[in-house]
Amino acid sequence: MKNVKFQFNYQRVLKVALLSLVTFLLLAPVANAQTSGAKPKFFICSEGMHRFATIVTTKHDINLCGEPGQEASMLAFRSTGQSQITSLPLTSSKHPVYSAVTSNGTIYKLDTNQKLLTITPKEGKASKEKVVRSD
């Protein structure tokens, strides 16, 4: 009778161990994605430029770029999940607010203290995006 009880407990311990292992394997990628996403690392600056900051908003990936040893002079960005990169010279780089203007008059203003990107078209309503991650 003792052997039967031992087998029952052994099977129960084995089931709990397998369940724990499966749970760990399913949840490990999720936990890793949350921790690795805390400091985004991508490089979309022009060749030869240095990346000063990496910022992710709700709709854009952004790098503040410049020559090594100097202040940031370029704003490089792309829509999240897209590959087309736009690089604009900064018209204002007074930390913590950086501004750039496109050829069609759209103004991109990045405020790193307020964690906000404001996009103001030449005509129309401004849109605001929250910074969700930065390094």
Q: Can you give the pTM of this predicted structure?
A: 0.68
> For residue range 16-26, what is the model confidence (pLDDT) as tens digits?
777 776 666 66
Residues 75, 58: Cα–Cα separation, whole Å: 17
3-state secondary structure of 80: coil
Runs of H (alpha helix) within 1-135:
2-36
Residues 120, 129: Cα–Cα separation, whole Å: 11
Average pLDDT, rounded, for the chain: 83
Rounded (10°) CA dihedral 70, 79, 98, 102: 100
The amino acid that residue 16 corresponds to is: V
> For residue range 73-113, what is the model confidence (pLDDT) as tens digits?
999 999 988 989 999 999 998 889 999 999 999 999 999 99
In Å, what is the CA distance from 134 to each residue of 10, 52, 84?
49, 11, 21
pLDDT band per the 50, 70, 90 thresholds, residue 127: very high
